[in-house]
Amino acid sequence: MTAEFSFTPGTTLPNGLGRSGVIHTPHGDIRTPAFVVVGTKATVKAVLPESVAGVGAQAVLANAYHLFLQPGPDIVDAAGGLGAFMNWPGPTFTDSGGFQVMSLGVGFKKVLAMDATGLADDDVIAAGKERLAHVDDDGVTFTSHLNGDRHRFTPEVSMRIQHELGADIMFAFDECTTLLNTRGYQERSLDRTQAWAARCLAEHHRLTEERAGKPYQALFGVVQGAQYEDLRRKAARDLAALEADGRGFDGYGIGGALEKENLGTIVGWVNSELPPEKPRHLLGISEPDDFFAAIEAGADTFDCVMPSRVGRNAAIYTLDGRFNVNTAASRRDFRPLDAECDCYTCANYTRAYLHHLFKAKEMLAATLATIHNERFTVRLVDDIRASIDAGRFAEFKAEFLARFYSARR
């Protein structure tokens, strides 16, 4: 880590893994644990950056694959980087594009609790899907979902794109597998991801020198290994030991499909191998029980499209669980979405009004629902952080989960 990027651990839970802390970046600090709001194409869909700040978001994560295709990383670079381009003054993240690119190939979604029982065939995941990406030891060749153009990502290409995008935190290019891949494939894939990590680190240092004068961009290595304890632990140890020019990764990402019931266990294996003085990001979760499990197991930051995506489909998070505001129950309900929420939507609008907007297919429906769901999610993780610092994580976890999953409303 450098003077421009560092992590200061705060309070540690009695289990020695979960903790609070602060990530320092050139564009500001992130108090952790923290939920990072997703703005895939350099916009958090349907809301202004002022609203993203208004929901308490400390950072935004955009996607290298999408911005590579459109508008192109050179445009973002010329604009002064992702934050300047999208008018977001705070810290930014980009993911490597690997997950999106490889999703094209196998037609899988990052599904928690995927039932892999009885399935152990590397081909099954491609059945019935048009294969848009092919992975080899050097990289991935894929077809644009926008216009059918052929492209190739290698570790070096991903690093070049992410440097041009200019986010404060970037991720190494990795191969994403699914729970449906065989153990043998996971082993081969992990070797490939490890080799790519070394290439990413070397290219990252080269580009950092080449682009001297720009704000420092931190690079996180990504730990794969699916559901296997030995593979996950080895991957974490190998990445932690990896250095180029005497410098290692600035932090780590935990990737891959995770079975929901084993989420905390797997994150715990990884984090007990990683150096505690560096931050850890868990990619792609946002359900309340997953936050508690992952934070307890030592994850510091999270990102997920779900709060905004489900919000655009009228699904609303409340302290008493999730409900759909477009059903008849909300038609004459003049209460806010969540009486205990402090967001702009809940301060000014009713369930009946949201119900009307969704039925009328008005754009404001997406805006107001997104503001509420993002605020709910950001605040939950903020509250978990406060509970760690106050020494009452276990009590807060029990209270929150009992109420959220009690299926009342």
Helix locations, 211-254, DSSP H: 229-241
Supply the minimum distance, in Å, between the C-beta of residue 367 and Zn ion.
Answer: 13
Taking the least distance from each CB to Zn ion, the nearer of 24 and 372 is 372
Taking the least distance from each CB to Zn ion, the nearer of 63 and 345 is 345
HSE, CB side, 13 Å, CA atoms: give it for residue 345.
31
Supply the minimum distance, in Å, between the C-beta of residue 317 and Zn ion.
Answer: 9
- Residue 363 tokens read as 């754009």
- Residue 346 tokens read as 């809940």
**Looking only at residues 308 through 367 of this chain, which bind Zn ion when binding is defined by CB under 5 A?**
341, 343, 345-346
Q: How far is CA 102 from the centre of its chain?
A: 16
Q: From its phi and psi, is residue 391 left (phi > 0), alpha (psi between -120 and 50) or beta?
A: left
Supply the minimum distance, in Å, between the C-beta of residue 181 and Zn ion.
Answer: 40
Supply the minimum distance, in Å, between the C-beta of residue 266 and Zn ion.
Answer: 32
Which residues have a Cβ under 8 Å from the Cβ of 408 and sit 6 or more positions away? 320, 321
Residue of 265, 43, 65, 248 lying closest to 158 (CA atoms): 65
**Angstrom distance (rounded) from CA 226 to CA 229:** 8
Supply the minimum distance, in Å, between the C-beta of residue 196 and Zn ion.
Answer: 41
Taking the least distance from each CB to Zn ion, the nearer of 223 and 341 is 341
The site for Zn ion, by CB under 5 A, has a size of 5
From the candidates 77, 95, 174, 238, give the one annotated as an active-site residue. 95
From the candidates 174, 290, 300, 303, give the one annotated as an active-site residue. 303
Q: Which residue's entry shows tokens 């780590």?
A: 252
Contact in structure between 64 and 158 (CB atoms under 8 Å): yes
Taking the least distance from each CB to Zn ion, the nearer of 127 and 347 is 347
Taking the least distance from each CB to Zn ion, the nearer of 169 and 346 is 346
Which residues have a Cβ under 8 Å from the Cβ of 361 and sit 6 or more positions away? none
**Looking only at residues 364 through 393 of this chain, which bind Zn ion when binding is defined by CB under 5 A?**
372
- Residue 274 tokens read as 């990683």
Strand-strand pairing, 133-135 and 92-95: unpaired
303 is annotated as an active-site residue = yes
Contact in structure between 112 and 260 (CB atoms under 8 Å): yes
Contact in structure between 387 and 395 (CB atoms under 8 Å): yes
Supply the minimum distance, in Å, between the C-beta of residue 60 and Zn ion.
Answer: 19
- Residue 280 tokens read as 């850890």
Distances from the Cα of 100 to the Cα of 116, 138, 296, angstroms: 21, 17, 28
Taking the least distance from each CB to Zn ion, the nearer of 157 and 354 is 354
Which residues have a Cβ under 8 Å from the Cβ of 337 and sit 6 or more positions away? 316, 318, 325, 345, 346, 349, 351, 354, 372
Q: Residues in the chain, how many?
A: 409
**Looking only at residues 123 through 162 of this chain, which bind Zn ion when binding is defined by CB under 5 A?**
none
Contact in structure between 258 and 230 (CB atoms under 8 Å): no
Taking the least distance from each CB to Zn ion, the nearer of 299 and 341 is 341
The contact pattern for Zn ion, residues 202-241, with x = CB under 5 A and - = no contact, is: ----------------------------------------
Supply the minimum distance, in Å, between the C-beta of residue 372 and Zn ion.
Answer: 4
Contacting residues toward Zn ion, per CB under 5 A: 341, 343, 345-346, 372
Please give the positions annotated as active site.
95, 303
